[in-house]
Amino acid sequence: MGLFDRLRHEFIDIIEWLDDSNDTMVYRFDRFQNEIKNGAKLTVREGQVAVFINEGQIADVFQPGMHELNTANLPILSTLKGWKYGFNSPFKAEVYFISTRNITDQKWGTKNPITLSDQRFGMLEIRAFGTYVIRVKDAPVFIKEIVGTDGHFTTDEIAEQLKSMIVTRFTDAVGEANLPVENYASNVNEISEYVHGVIGPEFGQYGIEVTKFLIENVSMPEEIKKEIFELSRLNAIDLNKLAQMKAAKAMEKAAENPSGTAGAGMGMGMGFAMANQMGQTFTGGQQQQPQNQQTVPSTPPPIPPVLTFHLVVNGQQTGPYDMNALKQMAVQNQFTKEVLVWREGMANWAAAGQVPELNSVFGSVPPPIPGN
């Protein structure tokens, strides 16, 4: 600033701040040892608040509008200065403009994975990230607790502290939610609202309001994700069905290996099927069958359903259990003939001893040891 600029602005009579940035939260009115003229005009635009500070103490706060500075609208500063009968001379005071608009697209994320305990998958790690929107709600508190004497305060100076607070509260929230890991993706809105409610009062202690908080994604290890996708294709969590599905996939992989025995057998089967199809094509699709010869189906019959039963234990329905599980329970005296059972196709519950299909279960239980 040159000598003529200093002389020309010796007394300040217009105070305003034109913000052309997207990240400035606080701006101290720039001057060179200037004094504010009595009757000066203060312009506070929408989305701003002006705070006057005298010798380190917060004085008057001005909301959006045009203000003429005098003892009438500077009551606190007048008290601090000791102006009992008004003032006519210039005065010195620090003027801070605080942006109160929403500052959008603030990002947060977990630097390190969060360890959770899931009932089915055990200990696993997840990560999460999202965005949030903040604004200064209480300008004097924000200056007192965060800004201090910083004349140009931006979001970058507080971003890391806010992210740490968010990640801490998010970790607490997912731990208390105790949801199955596959349900996090379908409950991001509920978790977002919960975390928003928790961090709101903490941010408020710094004069900041969180106007929006969003969780964009919760990720988990790839092997867990693949297993969840497999289970989702089943109507219910059935270990027998899962084993059958994995066995079928193993057969497909074996068939893809022409050098293996299984691959050779599969290849022969496919060759016979193709030959049969070609024969039908050349004969017009109408092969003559001997009159007394039974037609052999070209595909195997469907696998018979696994026989399972529901039980009534301590007045509560449990199951279903397959025959192997029931045999083990019978050996351990956890399943007796008096237990009520039901399976698909039965009209009502019946005692296990009255169901013919369960005779083999109790027949496999050894009798009591003689003399006991």
Contacts (Cβ under 8 Å, ≥6 apart) of 309: 319, 320, 321, 326, 341, 342, 343, 355, 358
The CATH code of the domain at 103-224 is 3.30.479.30
- Is the model's pLDDT at 18 over the cut of 70? yes
Name which residue leads in pLDDT, 305 or 167.
167
Buried b (16+ CB within 10 A) or exposed e, 62-79: beeeebebebeebeebbe
Q: Is the pTM of this model over 0.75?
A: no
Q: What is the mean pLDDT of residues 348-356?
A: 88
φ and ψ at 117, to 5 degrees?
A: -110, 120
Q: What is the structure's pLDDT at 270?
A: 47
* Percent over 70 (pLDDT), the chain: 77
Beta bridge partners of 328: none
Confidence of residue 99 (pLDDT cuts 50, 70, 90): very high
Domain boundaries of the chain, sorted by first residue: 3-99, 103-224, 308-363
Q: What average pLDDT is seen over the chain?
A: 78
Q: Which of 76-80, 274-278, 368-372 is predicted least confidently?
A: 274-278
CATH class of 308-363: alpha beta
- Is the model's pLDDT at 302 over the cut of 80? no
Contact call for residues 12 and 31 (beta carbons, < 8 A): yes
Tens of pLDDT, residues 185-240: 777 888 888 889 889 999 999 999 999 999 988 888 888 777 777 766 655 555 56
- Is the model's pLDDT at 111 over the cut of 90? no
Q: What is the structure's pLDDT at 137?
A: 93
For the chain, the farthest-separated pair of C-alpha atoms sits apart, in whole angstroms, at: 127
Q: How many CB atoms lie within 10 A of CB 285?
A: 9
- Is the model's pLDDT at 46 over the cut of 90? yes
Q: Report d(CA 9, CA 32) in Å as an integer.
A: 8
